[in-house]
């Protein structure tokens, strides 16, 4: 009863700074709902996001979250194996699913008048999936083949696995989303069912409906299809192991004859967007743009590509969408006659110069304007908005955080960027990886 009252109290309708109308509420069974109105076209995006990703997997069962994403397209008590997607296609829609460290999500884009059919099928497979040992054997081969294609055949992906494993000393972000091959090979029906029973539950899910719909209509349908599913009483609190203080840089040379161009990656632990506290993440968005990206305007680009021609390619990247501590990364591919150690020294000199000088206010203004434009354009992308809310709500953020983000981005100052850079550029929390075809290139 307490939960029911709380759910009603959470019913709010908010309008973001710009166009989107967003309504959120929580069903009595704990399932969160976000409705984003966009009446420009008679289509709807229907997404169910589960607060379960690879970093929540039981130890020893890496890959089970992604594996389960595949199994969700198998038979249920009323659907044949494959019938879900076939039905979406027969109704003129498209569907897919994706798994990350923090979430697993399923979505369809379809004519707005087919929303009920989508909810009927999606709610059915939340609880009535009827997977068999045969499904397991078949689909395990499919995900193993996916790993072969994406990782085993890709030296950069294999190198990234090694660097990630060294970046995280305790957190499961060090384990690949697709899973370690030797653990994927052992995934079985029991693992899958235990995972499904616990995590595919309405109190662990977020429904996002975006498009030509009315919030009341969505609510009635959501209550009919999802509201009748009981909450999972044994759903564990989502507590993950956090990193201890990292005390020494890790250095790795990954050698693989398939590597075309030698390059180096430096990744540092970095803060992520947190509820009510997105300022550091916003400042890191600026830092990535100041250091990397354009060869003509970024610090790495100008110093290593334009001026000295030390590098063929430079980049800096950061994505604050993460439930737990994430990374800030730099990449440099040296020019033909430049060693990796010379390129790394040049990169470190760029960081040192950046820390030693003031940031040009004009550059801050340029980035601020670019980010404002990007946020305005984002509002026109209904599916992208739906993705934003789904990811945010499964990564501990709130609707208010999503709506505050553009303004937080606009408020970043040069001092904020310097402060967060001083915090992040800590070599003790870094992994430096060299990727080469031949051990002789590792110098």
Handedness of CA 76, 77, 83, 89 (dihedral sign): negative
Q: Could you tell me which of 161, 321, 172, 162 has the C-alpha nearest to residue 242?
A: 172
Looking at the DSSP bridge assignments, the partners of residue 97 are: 106
d(CA 205, CA 231): 10
242 in contact with a copy of itself (CB under 8 A): yes
Note whether 406 and 17 are within 8 A (CB): yes
Region near a copy of itself per CB under 8 A, out of 40-48, 175-183, 227-235, 287-295: 175-183
Residues 6+ apart with CB under 8 A from 9: none
C-alpha to C-alpha distance for 352 and 349, rounded to whole angstroms: 5
Tokens describing residue 378 = 């984002």
Q: Cβ-count burial of 415 within 10 angstroms (0-12 exposed, 13-18 middle, 19+ buried)? A: exposed
Q: By rule CB under 8 A, what string of x and - marks binding of each residue 395-434 to a copy of itself? A: --------------------------------------x-
Among 24, 87, 253, 298, indicate the residue that binds a copy of itself (CB under 8 A).
Answer: 253
Q: What residues have CB less than 8 Å from 76, skipping those under 6 apart?
A: 124, 125, 128, 129, 130
Nearer to a copy of itself, 175 or 192 (CB): 175
- Which 155-174 positions form the footprint of a copy of itself (CB under 8 A)? 158-159, 161-162, 165-166, 169-170, 172, 174
- Which span (25-33, 56-64, 111-119, 395-403) binds a copy of itself, by CB under 8 A? 56-64
> Taking the complex as a whole, how short is the minimal distance between the CB of residue 439 and a copy of itself, in angstroms?
10
Among 40, 150, 251, 372, binds a copy of itself (CB under 8 A): 251
Residue 336 found at the interface with a copy of itself (CB under 8 A): no
CA dist 268 and 285 (Å) reads 14
- Nearest approach, Cβ of residue 390 and a copy of itself (Å): 25
Instruction: Supply the minimum distance, in Å, between the C-beta of residue 292 and a copy of itself.
Output: 24
Nearer to a copy of itself by Cβ, of 239 and 336: the residue is: 239
Of 246, 278, 298, 305, which one interacts with a copy of itself (CB under 8 A)?
246
Stretch near a copy of itself under the rule CB under 8 A, chosen from 92-100, 234-242, 275-283, 395-403: 234-242
Tell me which residues in 275-314 interact with a copy of itself (CB under 8 A).
none
Active-site residue list: 69
Beta carbon nearer to a copy of itself, 13 or 170: 170
In 3D space, the residue among 252, 204, 251, 265 whose CA is nearest the CA of residue 232 turns out to be 204
Nearer to a copy of itself, 14 or 188 (CB): 188
Q: Is-contact 45 201, C-beta < 8 A? A: no
Interaction between residue 245 and a copy of itself (CB under 8 A): yes
Residue with tokens 């303004």: 407
Size of the site for a copy of itself (CB under 8 A): 35
Buried b (16+ CB within 10 A) or exposed e, 174-199: bbbbbbbeebbeebeeebbeebbeeb
- 250 part of the interface to a copy of itself, by CB under 8 A: yes
Task: Among 198, 231, 252, 408, indicate the residue that binds a copy of itself (CB under 8 A).
Answer: 252
Stretch that binds a copy of itself, among 116-124, 211-219, 239-247, 342-350 (CB under 8 A): 239-247
Q: Which one, 103 or 254, has the nearer CB to a copy of itself?
A: 254
**Residue carrying structure tokens 């290593």:** 304
Please state the closest distance from residue 93 (CB atom) to a copy of itself, in A: 38
> Cβ(322)–Cβ(364) under 8 Å?
no
Determine the interface stretch with a copy of itself among 118-126, 154-162, 275-283, 390-398 (rule: CB under 8 A).
154-162
Out of 42, 60, 92, 384, the only residue in the binding site for a copy of itself (CB under 8 A) is: 60
Q: Work out how close the CB of 180 gets to a copy of itself at its nearest, in angstroms, rounded to a whole number.
A: 4
DSSP string computed for 57-120:
SPTT-TTHHHHHHHHTTS-BSSS-TTHHHHHHHHTT-EEEEEE-SS-EEEEEEEEGGGHHHHHH
Touching a copy of itself, residues 179-218 (CB under 8 A)? 180-183
Instruction: Answer whether 324's CB lies under 8 Å from 54's CB.
Output: no
Question: Both tokens of residue 265?
Answer: 């990656």
Binding flag, residue 255, a copy of itself (CB under 8 A) = yes
Name the residue with tokens 């509201």.
227
Q: Does 244 bind a copy of itself (CB under 8 A)?
A: yes
List contacts with a copy of itself (CB under 8 A).
Answer: 59-60, 62, 158-159, 161-162, 165-166, 169-170, 172, 174-175, 180-183, 239-242, 244-255, 433
């Amino acid at each position: 009863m307490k939960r029911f009252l709380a759910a009603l109290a959470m019913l709010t309708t908010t309008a973001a700074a710009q166009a989107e109308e967003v309504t959120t509420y929580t069903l009595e069974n704990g399932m969160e709902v976000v409705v984003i109105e966009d009446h420009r076209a008679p289509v709807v995006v229907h997404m169910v996001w589960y607060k379960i990703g690879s970093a929540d997997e039981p130890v020893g069962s890496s890959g089970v979250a992604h594996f389960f994403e595949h199994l969700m397209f198998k038979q249920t008590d009323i659907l044949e194996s494959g019938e879900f997607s076939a039905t979406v296609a027969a109704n003129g829609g498209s569907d897919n699913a994706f798994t990350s460290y923090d979430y697993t999500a399923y979505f369809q884009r379809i004519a707005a008048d087919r929303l009920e059919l989508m909810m009927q099928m999606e709610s059915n497979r939340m609880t009535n999936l009827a997977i068999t040992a045969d499904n397991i054997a078949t689909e395990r081969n499919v995900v193993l083949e996916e790993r072969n294609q994406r990782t085993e055949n890709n030296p950069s992906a294999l190198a990234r696995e090694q660097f990630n494993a060294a970046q995280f000393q305790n957190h499961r972000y060090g384990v690949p989303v697709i899973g370690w091959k030797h653990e994927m090979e052992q995934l079985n029906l029991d693992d899958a069912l235990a995972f499904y029973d616990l995590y595919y539950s309405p109190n662990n899910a977020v429904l996002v409906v975006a498009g030509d719909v009315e919030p009341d209509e969505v609510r009635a349908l959501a209550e009919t299809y999802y509201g009748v599913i009981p909450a999972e009483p044994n759903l564990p609190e989502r507590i993950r192991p956090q990193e201890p203080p990292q005390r020494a840089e890790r250095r790795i040379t990954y050698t693989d004859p398939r590597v075309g161009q030698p390059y180096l990656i430096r990744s540092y632990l970095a803060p992520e967007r947190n509820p009510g506290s997105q300022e550091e993440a916003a400042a890191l968005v600026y830092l990535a743009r100041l250091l990397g990206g354009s060869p003509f305007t970024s610090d790495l680009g100008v110093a290593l590509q334009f001026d000295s021609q030390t590098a063929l390619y430079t980049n800096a990247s950061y994505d604050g969408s993460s439930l737990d501590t994430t990374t800030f990364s730099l990449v440099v591919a040296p020019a033909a006659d430049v060693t990796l150690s010379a390129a790394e020294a040049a990169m470190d000199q760029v960081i040192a110069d950046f820390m030693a000088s003031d940031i040009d206010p004009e550059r801050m203004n340029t980035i601020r304007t670019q980010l404002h434009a990007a946020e305005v354009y984002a509002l026109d992308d209904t599916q992208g908005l739906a993705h934003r809310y789904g990811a945010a709500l499964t990564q501990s953020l709130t609707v208010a955080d999503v709506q505050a983000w553009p303004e937080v981005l606009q408020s970043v100052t040069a001092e904020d960027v310097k402060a967060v850079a001083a915090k992040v550029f800590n070599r003790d929390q870094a992994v430096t990886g060299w990727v080469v075809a031949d051990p002789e290139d590792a110098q």
